[in-house]
């Protein structure tokens, strides 16, 4: 007995997604309209572009939800996507820099950021790879992932592909997305079925390496690091992290004004549309520092409510991953939840000075069609997985009842 998939649509995921998307459109208009008016442009230009990507996203959700999961997990499909992504990342290197970094492919009035797509692609790729060796992981633990070798001996080894992606993104240079991709790889390893002690070891290694890196830059001096060609633009971010008010008109401009925005907001905010900092004082107020403007306009209370909706969405996706009986479905869901959580954490850490600013957008709220599109595709995967798992479970129960 086959039951239509539409009967298993998970509204506890779909409704928060729709709420955050609509809130995001409002925030994009709020953070972009003032400067558009000042420059004599159409105040609705940015939000219309974002709305176009959202419309495409909704169509994508509908199509992906109706797809068979067996098609989405085919090696041939995943390999084609991997090759296209590598090509896009290489192509983006030849387009004009934005804030000292490459990474955008522009045509007409639309720009695409391949590094954003990589976040979901690496989850998809690793889930498919690790699913194929689940029995080996259960027997040999982490050695199943390396075939007993520290160094890979095949070009299609997941370590080779992952390293190629990390190098391509890091050399753009795009420190923020490279960091997120690296953390996503760690998350995927941790949910692959290997012993939890390996995840603990990897986490300790990351924290230790980050502390060592920051300490080394502080001891050597940001000015010395800035002389290295590829790290010139990145060095400014470290300079602002150590003391944003030391150079509040240049390197520390963003973080200093982010502090001012959050201070202006207080508990209840200045009111939607009434931000002071977005009117030319805080650069990237519509992308990297959109959440600072949210706090300024809606206050800590309003920002906390938005965070609560986002974390509820992430929690519901985690529940889908935990309940999934199929390893691929479980790893995909947990990876997508991890992607959203890491992106939110890195963004909030950057705007508050807890970690160096990385240029990472905040999920849903920042202007960025590529970011919204890839989040939507991830949500579509989860909705499909949840419907598939629940339908199989119900059909099994019905079959057992009648037999």
Q: How many angstroms separate the CA atoms of 235 and 222, rounded?
A: 6
Distance between the two ends of the chain, CA-based, in angstroms?
A: 13
pLDDT score, position 34: 82
User: What pLDDT does residue 210 have?
Assistant: 73
For 336, other C-beta atoms within 10 Å of its C-beta total 30
Report the pLDDT value the prediction gives residue 217, as an integer from 0 to 100. 66
Q: Are 42 and 36 in contact (CB under 8 A)?
A: yes
pLDDT of residue 151: 61
**Confidence at residue 237, expressed as pLDDT on a 0 to 100 scale:** 66
User: What is the per-residue pLDDT for 61?
Assistant: 95
- CA proximity to 50, closest of 35, 64, 30, 70: 30
Nearest to 343 by CA among 58, 59, 116, 104: 116
User: Residue 268: which residues within 8 A CB-CB, separation 6 or more?
Assistant: 298, 299, 301, 302
Q: Which stretches in the chain have pLDDT values below 70?
A: 1-2, 96-102, 108-109, 148-156, 214, 217-218, 220-242, 247-251, 403
1-47: pLDDT as tens digits: 567 777 889 999 999 999 999 999 999 999 998 888 877 888 888 89
Four-point Cα dihedral 114, 115, 117, 120, nearest 10: 160
Q: Map tokens 């690790």 to a residue.
A: 130
**What are the CA-CA distances from residue 139 to residues 143, 153, 252 (Å)?**
9, 22, 51
Global confidence as pTM: 0.90
What is the pLDDT, as a whole number, of residue 231? 57
Q: Which residue from 403, 397, 346, 370 is spatially nearest to 3, judged by alpha carbons?
A: 397
pLDDT in tens, 380-393: 999 999 999 998 88
Rounded Cα distance between 302 and 47, Å, is: 21
Question: Within 10 A of 394 (CB to CB), how many other CB atoms are there?
Answer: 14
CA 189 to chain centre: 17
């Amino acid at each position: 007995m086959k039951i239509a998939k539409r009967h298993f649509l998970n509204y506890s995921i779909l409704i928060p997604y729709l709420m955050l998307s609509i809130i995001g459109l409002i925030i994009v208009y709020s953070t972009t309209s003032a400067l558009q008016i000042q420059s004599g442009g159409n105040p609705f230009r940015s939000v219309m572009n974002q709305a176009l990507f959202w419309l495409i996203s909704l169509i994508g959700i509908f199509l992906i939800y109706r797809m068979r999961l067996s098609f989405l997990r085919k090696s041939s499909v995943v390999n084609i996507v991997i090759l296209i992504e590598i090509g896009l990342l290489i192509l983006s290197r030849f387009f004009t820099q934005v804030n000292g970094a490459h990474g955008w492919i522009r045509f007409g009035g639309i720009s695409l950021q391949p590094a954003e797509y990589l976040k979901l692609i690496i989850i998809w790729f690793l889930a498919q790879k690790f699913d194929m060796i689940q029995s080996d992981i259960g027997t040999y633990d982490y050695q199943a992932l390396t075939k007993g070798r520290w160094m890979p001996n095949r070009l299609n080894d997941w370590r080779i592909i992952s390293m190629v992606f990390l190098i391509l993104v890091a050399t753009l240079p795009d420190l923020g997305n490279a960091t997120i991709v690296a953390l996503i790889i760690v998350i995927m390893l941790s949910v692959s079925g290997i012993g939890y002690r390996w995840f603990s070891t990897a986490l300790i290694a990351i924290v230790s390496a980050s502390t060592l890196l920051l300490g080394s830059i502080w001891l050597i001096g940001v000015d010395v690091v800035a002389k290295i060609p590829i790290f010139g633009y990145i060095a400014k971010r470290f300079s602002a992290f150590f003391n944003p008010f030391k150079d509040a008109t240049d390197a520390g401009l963003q973080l200093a004004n982010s502090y001012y925005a959050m201070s202006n907001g207080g508990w209840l905010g200045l009111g939607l549309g009434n931000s002071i900092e977005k009117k030319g004082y805080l650069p990237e107020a519509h992308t990297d520092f959109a959440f600072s403007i949210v706090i300024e306009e809606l206050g800590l209370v309003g920002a906390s409510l938005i965070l609560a909706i986002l974390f509820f969405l992430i929690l519901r996706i985690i529940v889908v991953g935990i309940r999934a009986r199929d390893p691929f479905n479980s790893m995909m869901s947990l990876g997508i939840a991890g992607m959203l959580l890491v992106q939110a954490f890195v963004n909030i850490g950057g705007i508050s000075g807890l970690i160096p600013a990385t240029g990472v957008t905040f999920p849903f709220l920042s202007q960025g069609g590529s970011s919204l599109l890839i989040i939507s595709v991830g949500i579509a995967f989860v909705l499909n997985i949840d419907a598939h798992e629940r339908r199989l479970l119900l059909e099994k129960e019905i079959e057992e009842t009648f037999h």
